[in-house]
Amino acid sequence: MNQTTTYDPTPAGVSSIGERNRVLRNTYWLLALSMVPTVLGAWIGVQTGIARAMSPGIGLVVFLVGAFGFMFAIEKTKNSAAGVPVLLAFTFFMGVMLSRLVGVVLGLSNGASLVMMAFAGTSAIFLGMATLSTIIKRDLSAMGKWLFIGAIMVLVAGVANFFIQSSALMITLSVLVIGIFSAFIL
């Protein structure tokens, strides 16, 4: 009846703070490594025009089948040695799918600087959030459900804005998405 419950901030299966930090460090290195096949896939996609050659409908079907297929494969192989190559193949596929957008942006007069600014901004935010997550001693997992609700609300607002066509709402949604997904990294 009068049991005292103490909170242990280390994840299940992790026995010490040192091991927790090692798991975090390895996770962030793997995320950084996954950028290599993403960039390679985008480069190959831009050079070959494979994503551009697909009609928007076919491209959507290929994207959905590939994304969900890879997510299923990642879930099935997450505790085996095959998990990392499957993850890297997923990021390569996402790079290829992103190549259509990258190609359009590179076609703009300031396209290369836009792509580099997006890459630098993403890297800076990721580095900042990864550093914060290793410094902060609090358990931030309770934010997950609120962030998920926020992500769903932004998705619904984005679909609504497809019909409304408000540039002010688009900028607001962009800022909210940056904040929400930056907090997801924590």
Q: Is 42 a residue whose pLDDT tops 80? A: yes
* pLDDT at residue 7, rounded to an integer: 46
* pLDDT at residue 9, rounded to an integer: 53
* Cβ pair 103, 46 in contact under 8 A: yes
Average pLDDT, the chain: 87
CB atoms within 10 A of CB 82: 13
Is pLDDT larger for residue 123 or for residue 89?
Answer: 89
* pLDDT at residue 179, rounded to an integer: 92
Q: How far apart are CA 20 and CA 133, in angstroms?
A: 11
Share of the chain above pLDDT 70, in %: 92
Alpha helices in 107-166 (DSSP H): 111-135, 143-164
How confident is the model over 73-91, as pLDDT tens digits?
999 999 998 999 999 999 9
Q: Is 151 a residue whose pLDDT tops 90? A: yes
* pLDDT at residue 57, rounded to an integer: 87
Radius of gyration (C-alpha) of the chain in whole angstroms: 20
Across the range 26-31, mean pLDDT stands at: 83
Across the range 122-141, mean pLDDT stands at: 83
DSSP state of 137: -
**All residues at 6 or more sequence positions from 108 whose CB lies less than 8 Å from its CB, including other chains:** 114
Parse the chain into domains and list their residue ranges. 17-137, 139-186
